[in-house]
Structure 1
Amino acid sequence: MKRSTTKRSFVALAAATSLVLAACGSDNDSASTTDAPVATEASVDAEAPADTAALADDVDREGWPQKLVFTLTPSQETGGLIETAQPLADMLSERLGIEIEALVPTDYSGVIVALESGQAQIAGGLGPRQMVQAEEQAGAQLILQSERFGSLLYVTQWFTNDPDTYCDDTPVADENGFLFCNGVLDAESAADGPIGADKLALLTGQTVSFVDQGSTSGYAIPALQLVDAGIDPIDDIDGLFAGGHDSSVQAVYDGDAVVGVSFNDARGQIEETSPDVGQKVVVFGWSGPIPNDGFAVAGDLPESLVKAITDAFTDIAATEEGATVLDELYNIDGLVPVDSADFDVIRELEIKLGDVLQ
């Protein structure tokens, strides 16, 4: 997955975008009352190593299970995600001395269902809405938040294959040839958003590619922006749910939608198969800042295990191998302690949008 530096430090995620997006890709789900179908799962048959890396000999392991299930948000194509998740599950297993099973549901809501039903005890790549839902619906404990380019914030990006309509100026390229207009390339951080919001009023009757109804940057935030622009996100546009941030970009690239949204900058996720995506798909707008995605654990785990899991992820992120895997999974640069209050903006969004997010 290609990522650029400098100006694309915020024009590149979650995810997360939510997620993916990052997530955003930043980074993201609505819960269901039934078990979501599982696309792929992989089991790590890991016996406790003799020299478990992150645990001291005197760690209290009372009440620890013999196996844990680690569920991840499907912010990109599920098959590729599980392949990347496997090494992370291995690293976690080595540090905890517990068998870890990696689980990737078919949609965002499946992650919350897995936590709520006890099918999973650890969750990663949780977008902002998922972080709130994990805590409030599944009774989970938030443990870590993703950091990217030194920031705990990201944005929804708006992009189009029709720059003549949605750009006030001639699109300009960053150092990698990816095109932007309406001043997006000049933005220094997520706090510079929103940008280009005045163009959203042009979307009436158009096909717009979203990510998933549970995605924060891929639906909730852009839906709120549409409402603020006087556009009903259900009745005034033809909404297309692509299923992933990369797929949303692909939909606009292929011409299935004229405008789309994702975490910033999910275009890089399809650059390998669509090398000219940065020229055909032009970013014309940003949302305001969104808190990054993160990790949570089931609320009924022993406190000693919660600490061990938190320390293990932090240790993994500090290693070269672990940093590479986290980057491949969700473009994560680091993991830091999380403050639940940082997601109050998402709680307020849920109240404001109401039925739109159901």
Structure 2
Amino acid sequence: MRKSPLVTLSTLALGALALSGCGSEPDADTSGAEGEWPESITLSLVPSTEGEDLAEALDPLTGYLSENLGIDVEGVVATDYAATVEALGADQAQVAITDAGSLYNAIEQHDAELILRDVRFGATSYAAVGYTNNPDKYCEDEPVMATYDAAGTEMAYCNGIEAAGESATGDGPAGTDALANIDAGTEVALQAATSPAGYQYPIVAMQDAGVDTDNDIVEVPVDGNNNAVLAVHNGDAEVSFGYWDARDSIVEEAPEAAEDVVAFSYTEMIPNGGVAVTNTLPDDLVAELTTLMDEYAESSDEAADVMYDLVGLSDWTAETGDEEIARYGEILEMFAN
């Protein structure tokens, strides 16, 4: 379901200037923590937009919030996700649109409040998918074709994780028992150790299925979800992992992959990012801000376009699913070293 992941724009001078000094102490006089609304608040995000005029790209969102809140809302571009956490902690930004790991860190380290979750293609979370070119080994039944609605493409699934002829849902965990068939010497394509769908959640799922991921598998390093699928398609690995449904990234160049690369397992769900606010904001401001941002994508056609272009989302939802963020934090800590 993730087709437009957020991209870190580490070279943007605007972000560096806007968030420089994040290590300084918060200004208690402007916090509004006692119920008085501040004259202005700052929103920090890592955009998916590429280009020089990012201030202009932010204007429709910050203008909408400013007009409806009756206070100035300023938008700044963070150099990376960690900078959004630092900005909240220093009260240099009071609102952050960021990834799930940063949400967890902001909550744990700075007592930030999670107010919204990102919605992409109708979902707030996604599974890591186990792909294979050897269905005889990993499928208990014949693969079936189901439609990946985000691309309108029929793709192959087995182990009952999707229903034949229906729209695929991508709901996990499912088919995880089949991971036990990854035996000693199996070539498994894995992405960087920081990738939730390409490494972290798959490693946990394989270990839960009894696979010795340190000694038994032959790791085939790949860079990116498309290359994870290509590794299986090209026969460089018997199994790979990527987000649901990463096959869409290669079917234009290799249409046969939709059927030849079979999805046989879904991990537990991985949370999308969302919106967090600092604990210095008064409750009634937070409540109104939450409602306004929740309604932004539906406020106009321009808003929907801005939201997708700016942060790669189709919507926000106030159904925050805090337990998924907490679980994500547990997984992050497993791989912290």
Q: TM-score range by the shorter chain?
A: 0.5 to 0.7
Deviation at 1:200, TM superposition (A): 3.9
Q: Which residue of 1 aligns with 2:76?
A: 101
Q: Which residue of the other structure, out of 105, 108, 112, is the alignment partner of 1:136?
A: 108
> Is residue 322 of structure 1 aligned with residue 279 of structure 2?
no
Q: Which residue of 2 aligns with 1:230?
A: 210
Instruction: Judge which range, 157-166 or 320-329, deviates more.
Output: 320-329
Unaligned runs of 5+ in 1: 1-12, 24-36, 45-59, 73-80
Deviation at 1:144, TM superposition (A): 0.3
Q: Distance in 2 between matches of 1:103 and 1:204?
A: 44
Equivalences for residues 1-358 of structure 1 within 5 A = 13-14=1-2, 39-41=10-12, 62=38, 64-65=40-41, 68-71=43-46, 81-83=48-50, 89-95=58-64, 96=66, 97-103=72-78, 105=80, 112=85, 122-124=95-97, 126-127=99-100, 129-147=101-119, 152-175=124-147, 176-186=153-163, 193-239=173-219, 242=222, 244-253=224-233, 255-272=235-252, 274-300=254-280, 306-307=286-287, 309-318=289-298, 319-324=300-305, 326=307, 329-330=311-312, 332-341=314-323, 343-346=325-328, 349-350=330-331, 355-358=334-337
- CA offsets 1:181-217 (integer angstroms, 9 cap, x no match): 2222229756663214323441543343344434444
Q: Distance in 1 between matches of 2:130 and 2:179?
A: 10
Deviation at 1:223, TM superposition (A): 1.9
Q: Distance in 2 between matches of 1:123 and 1:311?
A: 16
Deviation at 1:283, TM superposition (A): 0.9
Q: Which amino acid aligns with 1:340?
A: D
Q: Which amino acid aligns with 1:62?
A: P
Contact 1:182–1:196 (Cα < 8 Å) also in 2: no
Q: Distance in 2 between matches of 1:158 and 1:258?
A: 10
Percent of aligned pairs sharing the same letter: 28
Contact 2:172–2:267 (Cα < 8 Å) also in 1: no
Q: Distance in 1 between matches of 2:59 and 2:183?
A: 46
Deviation at 1:136, TM superposition (A): 0.8
Q: Which amino acid aligns with 1:39?
A: S
Contact 2:62–2:75 (Cα < 8 Å) also in 1: yes
Deviation at 1:301, TM superposition (A): 5.3
Q: Distance in 2 between matches of 1:82 and 1:116?
A: 25
Q: Distance in 2 between matches of 1:235 and 1:109?
A: 33
Q: Distance in 2 between matches of 1:309 and 1:42?
A: 28
Deviation at 1:232, TM superposition (A): 3.3
Deviation at 1:39, TM superposition (A): 3.2
Q: Which residue of 2 aligns with 1:30?
A: none
Deviation at 1:109, TM superposition (A): 6.0
Instruction: Judge which range, 139-148 or 110-119, deviates more.
Output: 110-119
TM-score by length of 2: 0.67
Q: Which amino acid aligns with 2:295?
A: D
Q: Distance in 1 between matches of 2:289 and 2:189?
A: 36
Judged with a 3 Å threshold, the aligned counterparts in structure 2 of structure 1 residues 234 and 267 are, in CA distance, closer, same or farther, namely same
- CA offsets 1:269-326 (integer angstroms, 9 cap, x no match): 4444554442343211112345554222344456676456534432322143433555
How many residues are treated as equivalent by the alignment?
Answer: 299
SS in 2 for 1:155: strand
Contact 1:92–1:312 (Cα < 8 Å) also in 2: no
SS in 1 for 2:46: strand
Deviation at 1:102, TM superposition (A): 3.1
Q: Distance in 1 between matches of 2:321 and 2:327?
A: 13
- CA offsets 1:49-86 (integer angstroms, 9 cap, x no match): xxxxxxxxxxx752525x543125xxxxxxxx333995
- CA offsets 1:74-101 (integer angstroms, 9 cap, x no match): xxxxxxx333995863432222354423
SS in 1 for 2:77: strand
TM-score by length of 1: 0.64
Q: Distance in 2 between matches of 1:143 and 1:121?
A: 12
SS in 2 for 1:287: strand
Judged with a 3 Å threshold, the aligned counterparts in structure 2 of structure 1 residues 299 and 283 are, in CA distance, closer, same or farther, namely same
Q: Which residue of 1 aligns with 2:31?
A: none
Q: Distance in 2 between matches of 1:120 and 1:251?
A: 42
